[in-house]
Structure 1
Amino acid sequence: MKNTFLAGALILMTFSVLFSSCSSDDDNNNQNNNDAIISEVEDIAESGNWIITSFIDSGQDETNHFTGYTFTFAASGTLTATNGTTTMTGMWSITDSNSSNDDDSNSSDDVDFNIFFNVPDTNDFEDLNDDWDIDTYSSSTIKLMDISGGNGGTDILTFQKL
């Protein structure tokens, strides 16, 4: 009887250790994967000049608001948009949101592409201010997406490298 109890306890402890170690490894793998994605997308964004080829704001095509602007993502976190006569300066970063309280996802391993221009609400560039989810990316395209917390509309922003 004593041996049966000890054997059962030993099996239970073994499974507990196995399950808890798998969870820890999964968290580390997600963090390592997010770190790799952050580094890769930062390198891509900093590698040249970009234009907005598509900006859909809750179903409305507002790409024309940014026609003629060239965007530069500097390693310092400065974001510059210029069309030859007007220059807008903002900030950008890529972060691991790593929280379950995102307004647009239940996932805990999202990577956010953050854009901020210090402009009034009436300025077109205010529409770009967000913690965008990275939808897809390549060496020549970065596609971002956000589901609005206010109206539930989906915004899609696509940068194309010049």
Structure 2
Amino acid sequence: MSCSESDDNSSGSNSQLVNEVKTLMASGNWRVSNYFDDVNETSNYQNFVFRFNPAVNSVSVTGGNITASGTFSVVDSASNDDSISLDADFNLNFSLPAPASLIELSDDWDILSYNNNEVNLIDVSGGNGGTDLLTFTRIP
């Protein structure tokens, strides 16, 4: 079994992508500006402020009377599958006692696109084929 040339050339750019997104998420506070899971659920997150710390794979969330923490990582998915997403995963994991709305965000999201102020994520469910969308926007 051999690798194609495109597979061999993708690892450098994926490492760069992973590092860029980690650096981006480490700077500043973030909010959910879009969350679509069969219906638009963005309003469930309007009071939450997310702070990512890729150095220790953590995320903290505050808002209203909520303080929660979870794990976070950005990793090379190494799939080079020519899908609509970039070949990196944005992993989020919240567990009890975090609110159900945060636990709902727990997934291995694919990075769809990103810039200095926004990260767009997608998850295609293996079970029902539904597509979930999640966007984090930097808080100015």
- Matched residue, 2:20: 40
Structure whose residues are more often strand by fraction: 2
Backbone CA RMSD of aligned residues = 2.4
Q: Provide the TM-score with structure 1 as the length reference.
A: 0.75
After TM superposition, list the pairs within 5 Å mapping 1:71-150 onto structure 2: 71-74=50-53, 75-99=55-79, 110-119=87-96, 123-150=100-127
Aligned counterpart, 1:65? 44
Divergent runs of 4+, >2 A: 25-28
CA contact (8 A) 1:119 1:125 kept: no
Deviation sequence 1:33-67 (CA, Å, 0-9, x none):
10000000100010110000110002x01111111
8 Å contact kept, 1:132–1:145: yes
Could you tell me how far 1:150 is from its partner in structure 2?
1.8
What SS is found at the alignment partner of 1:128? coil
Q: Does 1:50 align with 2:25?
A: no
For these two proteins, the number of residue pairs brought into alignment is 135
Identity rate, percent: 40
Q: Is the 8 A contact 1:73 1:80 kept in 2?
A: yes
TM-score of the aligned structures, taking structure 2 as reference length? 0.86
Equivalent position SS for 2:6: helix
Amino acid at match of 1:96: D
CA distance in 1, matches of 2:82, 2:115: 25
Shift of 1:110: 2.0
